[in-house]
């Protein structure tokens, strides 16, 4: 049976919050905690209301449960949540074609999609998903290869997103170029983020927008860049080369959100 261990107050809280809405997930969750400080007591109260199982254990048990996680994720701070069965897979992962048929093909309303081209740092992906949640992006797309999407990465993403990964739909696709072509054929305009483009202060985003973010090392791949209707840049005044990709995504998503109001 598939199993995942998640740490971090936000990640645990959001799993409980999701289960309180989607009751079928309750049986797949089990919280383990040691000393119940104020924050943990709050989570335990939420878990009790949602019907999520809870067990008090020694810190050594929590240490053992988290020993195979990354350095940051091993800092459990006295509480973890075990997710089993199908729910151990990220419940926010959606099939792109189904999403496009259900959501992306609709004409009315604002719809923003974020495409991550070779963004391999799961901490960056988690931060981008958090911004996507805050500024109303409808979907985050990543490629199967050259991206942060394996099981260990998912744990880091869940923690780095501060729980937002439970709510923002993510699609993993085999070919980003073909995926963007499908979005364009359904009325989306595609904006690539890169130096030398139109200043975001001067540009105007479409109601249906695709924001393409490339890796900090190589940027957007050539074929994907050719699919972009416009290249946009963020004016800065610093002395280093560029913004971190997660920070840049947050700035651009805010601007898309601001223009829609």
CA distance 54 to 30: 6
CA distance 19 to 100: 26
Q: What are the contacts of 33-39 at 24+ separation with CB within 8 A?
A: 33/57, 33/62, 33/78, 33/79, 33/80, 34/58, 34/59, 34/61, 34/62, 34/78, 34/79, 35/59, 35/78, 36/78, 37/78, 39/9
What pLDDT was estimated at residue 241? 59
The pTM assigned to this predicted structure is: 0.66
**129-146 pLDDT, tens per residue?**
889 988 999 999 988 876
CA distance 18 to 121: 26
Residue ranges of the chain whose pLDDT lies below 70: 1-2, 70-72, 86-92, 107, 146-167, 238-242
CA distance 3 to 30: 11
Between CA 15 and CA 10, with CA 20 as vertex, the angle to 5 degrees is 30
Give all domains of the chain, ordered by start, each with its CATH number.
3-88 (3.30.1330.30), 96-260 (3.40.1280.10)
């Amino acid at each position: 049976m598939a199993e995942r261990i998640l740490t971090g107050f936000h990640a645990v809280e959001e799993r409980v919050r999701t289960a309180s809405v989607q009751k079928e997930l309750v049986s797949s969750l089990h919280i383990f905690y040691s000393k119940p400080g104020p924050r943990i007591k709050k989570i335990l109260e939420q878990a009790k209301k949602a019907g999520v199982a809870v067990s008090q254990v020694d810190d050594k048990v929590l240490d053992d449960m988290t020993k195979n996680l990354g350095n940051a994720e091993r800092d459990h701070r006295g509480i973890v949540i075990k997710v089993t069965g199908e729910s151990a897979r990220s419940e926010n992962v959606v099939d792109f074609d189904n999403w496009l048929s259900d959501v992306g093909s609709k004409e009315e309303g604002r719809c923003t999609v974020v495409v991550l081209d070779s963004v391999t740092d799961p901490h960056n992906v988690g931060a981008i998903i958090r911004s996507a949640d805050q500024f109303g992006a409808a979907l985050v797309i990543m490629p199967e290869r050259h991206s942060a999407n394996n099981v260990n990465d998912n744990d880091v993403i869940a923690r780095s997103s501060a729980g937002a990964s439970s709510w923002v739909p993510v699609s993993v696709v085999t070919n980003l170029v073909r995926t963007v072509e499908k979005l364009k054929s359904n009325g989306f305009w595609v904006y690539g983020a890169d130096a030398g483009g139109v200043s975001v202060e001067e540009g105007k985003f479409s109601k249906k927008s695709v924001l393409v973010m490339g890796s900090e090392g190589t940027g957007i791949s050539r074929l994907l860049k050719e699919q972009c209707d416009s290249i946009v840049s963020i004016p800065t005044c610093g002395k280093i080369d560029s913004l971190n990709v997660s920070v840049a995504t947050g700035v651009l998503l805010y601007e898309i959100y601001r223009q829609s109001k």
